[in-house]
Amino acid sequence: MKKSTKKKATIYDLSVLSGCSASTISAVLNGTWRQRRISESTAERILGLARDHNYTTNMQARGLRSSQSGLVALLLPVHDSRYFSSMAQTFDARVRERGQCPIVISTCRDPKEEYQTVETLISYSVDTLLIAGATDPDSIHRLCKEAGLKHINIDLPGRSGPSVITDNYAGAVELTWSIINSFSDDDSITPSDIYMFGGRDDHNSRERNRGFRDVKDAHFKTKTEETIVPTGYAPGFAQKAFEEFYETHGNLPRGIFVNSSINYEGLLRFMAKHPPETFENLVIGCFDYDPFGSFLPFQVTMVRQDVEKMIDRAFQLIDAGEMTPRTYLIPPQFVPQRTALTGPLDLLKDVP
């Protein structure tokens, strides 16, 4: 019983077909018909008609009227990292559970793109916005606030809104200890054996740096010299940093704290240019979990940021209307070598 006319059915079409007014149709179809005292029988009749003509609500019209959209957006620096893609996967699932429509957008860490994208999202009346790793959270916060858009920072904190982030310090401390403890006592290491690569001058990097330094200082019982090489987040820059270190010293540091899985890819690029033996005794600690990265042929421990808890907490705060600029820390999970965690990928509705 499908209309062969190309156009989609509207409440007006159903209005004519049913003999009811458009407002009645509207009420029935959006579920408010009980409050509007539409009789059960008319409701059923209309719902039947709607099914037959496979009516679907025009969300633009509804959105225009109600200035809502049912869309919930996640703003990502990049898609192509297992940290962010697992975040997207979890986000999608959670938003669907809430009966809304999840959309995910990346901005390549470009502040201009970020700003414009948020403006666009606002113009679509997106209901809620999760901002992951914004480079300039505060100006985005201002935008959202002016538009009355519920939003929250994930991963990187902002000064003006609530933020749910990983406990970077705690994670860095654990990771650094695990690197140091990988070396047996008789195989003595010096402060210059342990380096940190990656990151830049953002909150997360600073906290990770602090954890790294504190543990080094505690272990070597002295204020150790600077062994942190910030490279930004792009893999190419990290690669260059490894190359330079290698050229200067003739080898890599014996233990390396890698600031993120994207920086870890910089190490991959370095590895591709050097024989496997170069890495036989390497000890890596990576802040971020990548399942394949956990099985590389050297000692590698990882820290998995708990995206599920972060997303859940974010929605709790949003539902509670909490907009105070507070930062909520989520403890990350320490991941030993050769570990394949189950994750959002297991949400696949697939048959064996």
Partner DNA sequence: ATTGATTGCACCATCGATTGTGCAATTTTG
Partner DNA sequence: CAAAATTGCACAATCGATGGTGCAATCAAT
The residues binding DNA (CB under 7 A) are 7-8, 10-12, 19-24, 26-27, 29-30, 32, 36-39, 41-42, 55, 57-58, 61-62, 64-67
CB of 276 to its own copies, least distance (A): 7
Q: Rule CB under 8 A: say whether 140 interacts with its own copies.
A: no
Q: For its own copies, give the closer residue by CB, 21 or 120.
A: 120
Residues contacting residue 29 through CB under 8 Å, at least 6 positions apart:
11, 46, 47, 50, 55, 57
Q: Of 185 and 201, which CB lies nearer to its own copies in the complex structure?
A: 201
User: Binding to its own copies by residue 343, rule CB under 8 A?
Assistant: yes
Instruction: List the x/- string, 255-284, binding to its own copies by CB under 8 A.
Output: -------x-xx--xx-xx---x--------
Residue 351 interacts with which of its own copies, DNA, none, CB < 5 to 8 Å by class: its own copies
Residues 16 to 45 in contact with its own copies, rule: CB under 8 A: none
With CB under 5 to 8 Å by kind, the binding choice for 345 among its own copies, DNA, none is its own copies
Q: Which residues contact 172 (CB under 8 A, 6 or more apart)?
A: 207, 208, 209, 210, 211, 212, 215, 257, 287, 303
CA dist., res. 152 & res. 240, Å (int): 35
Q: Which of 236, 244, 249, 322 binds its own copies (CB under 8 A)?
A: 236
State the nearest-atom distance from the C-beta of 67 to DNA, in Å.
7
Report the largest interatomic distance among the alpha carbons of the chain, rounded to a whole angstrom: 89
Binding mask 149-188 for its own copies (x = CB under 8 A): ----------------------------------------
- How many chain residues bind its own copies (CB under 8 A)? 88
Report, in Å, the least distance between residue 339 CB and its own copies: 6
Nearest to 258 by CA among 222, 322, 226, 303: 303
Angle between helices 22-30 and 11-18 (to 10 degrees): 110
Pattern 84-123, its own copies, x by CB under 8 A:
xxx-xx--xx--x----xxxxxx-xxx--x---x-xx-xx
d(CA 234, CA 219): 31
Cα separation of 269 and 45, whole Å? Answer: 64
DSSP SS3 for 324: coil
Bridge partners, 229 (sequence order): 197
Q: Which is nearer to DNA, 45 or 269 (CB)?
A: 45
| Amino acid letter, 278 | T
Residue 96 is given by DSSP the state H
Which of its own copies, DNA, none sits in contact with 323, Cβ below 5 to 8 A by type?
none
Structure tokens at 72: 């919930």
